[in-house]
Structure 1
Amino acid sequence: MGYDTANRGGGNIPPWVGAYVVYSRAWMILEHLRKNGYGVGRHAVYKEMKRVEEEMAVMIAALDQGLEDPVRDAVDRNTRFLTTQQLAATSR
């Protein structure tokens, strides 16, 4: 999965408890950022945008590998990119 091709359900969801919810939120965050012009190396001038892009690259790598802690941490740090409705839909 690449930054610009991140899609819901792309790849297998690991067997750890809560993985589906965490992965759903991660895909929503990546989709939001992609739609809003984020991408690896696109905003090297702006420190905050560059930090978010680097963090998203780490999240994608963790998603690909099925690593629980890095994915959970990245989603927790970036829930500001999710709407209340998205959070409610994934908390059921």
Structure 2
Amino acid sequence: MSYDTMRGGVLGIPPWRGSSIVYDRAWMILEHLRGNGYGTGRNPVYKETRRVEQDMATLISALEQGHEATVREQVQHNLRFLSAQQLAATSR
């Protein structure tokens, strides 16, 4: 499944503690990246673009499977893509 066919939301959020916050941040990161021209399945020329798109693919796969450790790790690794307002909106 690719990002283009996925939709974020409250459906399918696993029951582990804090999952709704982590999933909200993950969807915000993916929205930001997609809005700035990144996408999985392309053949990027630049090394940084390739790395970001590999991170996107890993995050999408982890979201689909509900793999807590990978989702948390990817969100933590990519927090730089979120604004202060987005972080505040998803904090407790």
Structure-1-length-normalised TM-score = 0.91
Instruction: Quickly say closer, same or farther: Cα 1:79–1:47, change in 2 above 3 A.
Output: same
Q: Which residue of 2 aligns with 1:86?
A: 86
Aligned to 1:25: 25
Cα deviation for residue 4 of structure 1 reads 2.1
Equivalent position amino acid for 1:84 in 2 = A
| RMSD of equivalent CA atoms | 1.5
CA contact (8 A) 2:10 2:20 kept: no
1:40: how far off? Answer: 1.5
In structure 1, what residue type is equivalent to 2:24? S
Q: Tell me the equivalent position of 2:67.
A: 67
Can you list the C-alpha shifts for 1:29-83, whole angstroms capped at 9, x where unaligned? Answer: 0001111110124352110011000011011000000010000000000000000
TM-score (norm. length: structure 2): 0.91
Q: Secondary structure at the match of 1:37?
A: coil
Counterpart CA distance in 1 for 2:88 and 2:74 is 19
Q: Would the alpha carbon gap of residues 68 and 80 (structure 1) be closer, same or farther in structure 2, given more than 3 Å must change?
A: same
- Residues 13 and 23 (structure 1), Cα distance of their counterparts in 2 relative to 1, 3 Å cut: same
Partner secondary structure for residue 50 of structure 2:
helix
Moved over 3 A (4+): none
| Percentage of identical aligned residues | 63
Which residue is equivalent to 1:42?
42
CA contact (8 A) 2:24 2:90 kept: yes
